Amino acid sequence: MKEIVRYRHCFVCGDQNQTGLRARFFDTQGQAVTELVAESAFEGYRGIYHGGVLTALLDEVMIKAILSRGVYAVTAELTVRFRNPVSVGERIRLAGRIIRTRGRVFATEGEAVGEDGTVFATAKGSYVVEP
């Protein structure tokens, strides 16, 4: 597994962002993956991981699938379907992959899954290559 490029101050992957998630993403079998524990610092309702933070992670894992190819792109559209709540303290595995490329636009999909196989959320995204 090869670690995918990170940006020091990024909220999701930045290793120098003191208030961020500091997630590390790896390229494995044609997709980007990361694992982390849902920390209480990012709680929404009591004991439940914030859906906006989970959305940021899904966005990041999908764009990391593109970055793993050495291509820089920005988010154009993102759709998330929440299936089950993530409890604080649960381990989450996120995976993102490219499903189609058309010109400068990449279509992606991703998911967030628990250790027991529970699907927390799925996502689809469109990313545009920077000119």
Give the model confidence (pLDDT) of 90-126 as tens digits.
999 999 999 999 999 999 999 999 999 999 999 999 9
Structure tokens at 31: 């997709």
Predicted local distance difference test score (pLDDT) of residue 113? 98
Q: How confident is the model at residue 89 (pLDDT cuts 50, 70, 90)?
A: very high
Domain that holds residue 89: 2-129
CATH of the domain at 52: 3.10.129.10
Which tens digit of pLDDT belongs to each residue from 45-81? 999 999 999 999 999 999 999 999 999 999 999 999 9
